[in-house]
């Protein structure tokens, strides 16, 4: 049976067209196999693609013989087997001609041997003959292997025929390389688009958990890692605490023994730095980790020099001063390969965006906080006090609820400042603010409304409740004086209180009466004065 053929020249033109066509890889390989088979007159053409994750060659395309397709398609042959077949002793004109009887095919796994018997003619094709050509990229790296069988002529190839086969295969390799580069470029473009989308979503976000959740999801979707975790350093304990995850369940990560900065610092060595990320083999990581650190076993491992095999990949998150905020930890790459430089660079950019958003979110959160809080004592400020007081008065008069307003003023604070210095004066203000907060009940609030002037809003407060609050303040100030700070002995305060709606039903009058009660207390030398109830 003969096959319709096209000339080798037209085959070269067709493969060149495929080089420009940018078809998807399966369609490209089918077209390459068909073109080579038809132009050079081979009934069976198989393409074995190199799988770097497994260091083997998988038969992905079989053109022509259906029996060969059923036998070969999907089979994978280890790289070591191909080392035997692509031996220098079989090399001829850039191809590898393996004569019948020169290798033990049974020891090399599944092979297709067409039916037929050997002819007496030394130039006749033997059913156990084999002919291979390596598909290499422009750097000489092996992309795959082309196998042709069952020549229509029934004869072994001449040197000229081998030259044409090698030339067509070289062009096919260019087409294969271009297809792989196009796929990689598309993945990189998708990663950049996802990066831009994540960057826009986390801009202005103040929740650390939400920032990191979106970054983890973006890394998983854009860079094809099954598992991503982002953790922040707890400044008190030094523990690296998971805040968000994609692929893993955050609750399960939090149940594991937390690692500390001290434990992971040995991994963050410049020896393992690649494109701003720290990449270590399992053996390198295990050698530097304390024995008690629990190691997550990667699931998507491969074999061979480019395969992911329980590697560790950590990206640090730093603030503007270089301090370690946390880490992003990724695992289980879907392609089972150690990430390329482009992939690591994209991962570093994701981490940079996360760091910037964390710092910006912290600053934005601080700005929002300072809109209603005093920057020194961290108490609510005068702006918040006026708003809260108006609201409490409105509720009290409308619903018949009561609350107490207490105004506090530090005694002789100017002298304390002059005697001990402004830094000690600031320490005294902060200490007094902390005392107020500790003295209040949960529904109550403390405010700093002036230099050394404070206010308290006490919900549902009787005079007895107010007396108890002030008594707690006095007790805590005495404890503070015993703490050894030189200014603590001079720290005392006077208080004035007025109740709403009993003595006033508008905020301005209520404040004025409480303030007058405060100065009555100062003049009389007592700690607390109440405005008499109407």
3-state secondary structure of 329: strand
The set of long-range contacts for 67-71, using a CB threshold of 8 Å and a minimum separation of 24, is 67/112, 67/114, 68/44, 68/112, 68/114, 68/149, 71/110, 71/111, 71/112
**Paired sense of beta strands 312-318 and 277-280, if any:** antiparallel
Q: How far is Cα 301 from Cα 304, in angstroms, rounded to an integer?
A: 10
Do 350 and 198 meet the contact criterion of CB atoms below 8 Å apart? yes
Query: Catalytic positions, please?
Result: 452
Helices (H), 376-462: 382-399, 413-420, 422-439
Rounded to 5°, the CA angle 370-376-377 comes to 95
For position 365, what pLDDT does the model report? 59
The CA–CA distances, whole Å, from 258 to 238, 261, 295, 359, 382 equal: 10, 10, 11, 24, 42
For position 9, what pLDDT does the model report? 57
For position 3, what pLDDT does the model report? 42
Please tell me the class of the 8-182 domain.
Answer: alpha beta
For position 1, what pLDDT does the model report? 40
Q: Specify the domain boundaries for CATH 3.30.450.40 within the chain.
A: 8-182, 203-361
pTM confidence score? 0.67
Task: Give 416: exposed, middle or buried? Use CB within 10 Å, 0-12, 13-18, 19+.
Answer: buried
Closest by CA position to 268, among listed 333, 326, 350:
326
Closest by CA position to 382, among listed 393, 396, 391, 371:
371
Do 512 and 405 meet the contact criterion of CB atoms below 8 Å apart? no
CATH architecture of 373-530: 2-Layer Sandwich (3.30)
For position 363, what pLDDT does the model report? 58
CATH number (3.30.450.40, 2.40.70.10, 3.30.420.40, 3.20.20.80) of 203-361 reads: 3.30.450.40
For position 186, what pLDDT does the model report? 84
pLDDT tens, N- to C-terminus, the chain (534 residues): 444 444 665 655 666 665 555 557 788 888 888 888 988 899 999 999 999 999 999 999 999 888 889 989 999 999 989 999 999 999 999 999 999 989 988 887 778 888 766 667 888 999 999 999 999 999 999 999 999 999 999 999 999 999 989 988 988 888 888 888 888 888 888 888 888 888 888 877 778 899 999 999 999 999 999 999 999 999 889 999 999 999 999 999 998 889 999 999 999 999 999 999 999 999 999 999 887 787 788 999 999 899 999 999 999 999 878 889 999 999 999 999 999 998 999 999 999 988 888 887 665 555 567 778 898 999 999 999 999 999 999 988 888 888 999 999 999 999 998 899 989 999 999 999 999 999 998 889 999 999 999 999 998 877 888 888 999 999 999 998 887 788 988 899 999 999 888 888 899 999 999 999 999 999 988 888 888 654
Q: How far is Cα 177 from Cα 134, in angstroms, rounded to an integer?
A: 13
Start-to-end Cα distance in the chain? 118
- Residue 387's φ and ψ, nearest 5 degrees, are -65, -45
Q: How far is Cα 135 from Cα 34, in angstroms, rounded to an integer?
A: 16
């Amino acid at each position: 049976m003969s096959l319709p053929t096209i000339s080798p020249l037209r085959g070269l033109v067709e493969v060149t067209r495929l080089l420009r066509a940018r078809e998807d890889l399966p369609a490209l390989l089918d077209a390459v196999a068909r073109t080579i088979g038809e132009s050079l007159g081979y009934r069976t053409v198989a393409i074995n693609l190199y799988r770097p994750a497994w260091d083997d060659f998988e038969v992905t395309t079989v053109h022509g013989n259906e029996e060969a397709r059923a036998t070969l398609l999907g089979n994978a042959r280890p790289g070591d087997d191909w080392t035997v077949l692509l031996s220098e002793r079989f090399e001829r004109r850039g191809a590898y001609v393996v004569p019948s009887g020169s290798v033990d095919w049974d020891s090399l796994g599944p092979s297709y041997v067409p039916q037929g018997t050997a002819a007496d003619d030394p130039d006749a094709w033997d059913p156990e003959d084999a002919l291979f050509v390596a598909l290499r990229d422009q750097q000489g790296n092996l992309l795959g292997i082309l196998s042709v069988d069952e020549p229509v002529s029934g004869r072994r190839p001449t040197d000229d025929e081998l030259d044409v086969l090698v030339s067509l295969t070289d062009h096919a390799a260019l087409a294969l390389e271009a297809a792989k580069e196009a796929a990689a470029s598309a993945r990189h473009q998708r990663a950049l688009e996802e990066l831009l989308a994540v960057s826009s979503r986390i801009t202005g976000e103040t929740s650390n958990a939400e920032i990191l959740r979106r970054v983890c999801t973006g890394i998983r979707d854009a860079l094809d890692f099954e598992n991503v975790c982002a953790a922040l350093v707890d400044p008190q304990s030094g523990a690296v605490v998971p805040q968000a995850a994609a692929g893993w369940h955050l609750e399960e990560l939090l149940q594991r023994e937390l690692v500390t900065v001290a434990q992971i610092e040995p991994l963050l060595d410049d020896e393992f730095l690649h494109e701003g990320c720290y990449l270590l083999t399992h053996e390198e990581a295990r050698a530097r980790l304390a024995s008690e650190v629990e190691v997550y076993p990667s699931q998507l491992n491969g074999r061979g020099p480019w395969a992911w095999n329980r590697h560790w990949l950590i990206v640090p998150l730093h603030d503007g001063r270089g301090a370690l905020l946390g880490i992003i930890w990724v695992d289980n790459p879907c392609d089972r390969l150690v990430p390329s430089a482009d992939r690591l660079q994209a991962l570093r950019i994701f981490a940079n965006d996360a760091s910037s958003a964390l710092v910006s979110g912290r600053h934005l959160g601080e700005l929002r906080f300072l809109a209603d809080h005093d920057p020194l004592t961290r108490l609510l400020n005068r702006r918040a006090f006026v708003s809260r007081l108006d609201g409490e008065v409105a509720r009290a008069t409308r619903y018949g609820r009561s609350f107490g307003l207490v105004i506090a003023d530090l005694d002789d604070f100017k002298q304390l400042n002059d005697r001990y210095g402004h830094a000690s004066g600031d320490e005294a203000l902060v200490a007094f603010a902390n005392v107020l907060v500790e003295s209040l009940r949960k529904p109550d609030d403390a405010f700093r409304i002036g230099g050394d002037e404070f206010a308290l809003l006490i919900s549902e407060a009787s005079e007895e409740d107010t007396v108890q609050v002030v008594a707690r303040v006095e007790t805590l100030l005495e404890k503070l004086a015993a703490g050894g700070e030189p200014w603590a002995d001079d720290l005392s305060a006077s208080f004035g209180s007025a109740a709403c709606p009993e003595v006033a039903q508008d905020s301005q009058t209520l404040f004025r009466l409480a303030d007058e009660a405060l100065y009555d207390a100062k003049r009389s030398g007592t700690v607390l004065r109440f405005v008499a109830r109407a």
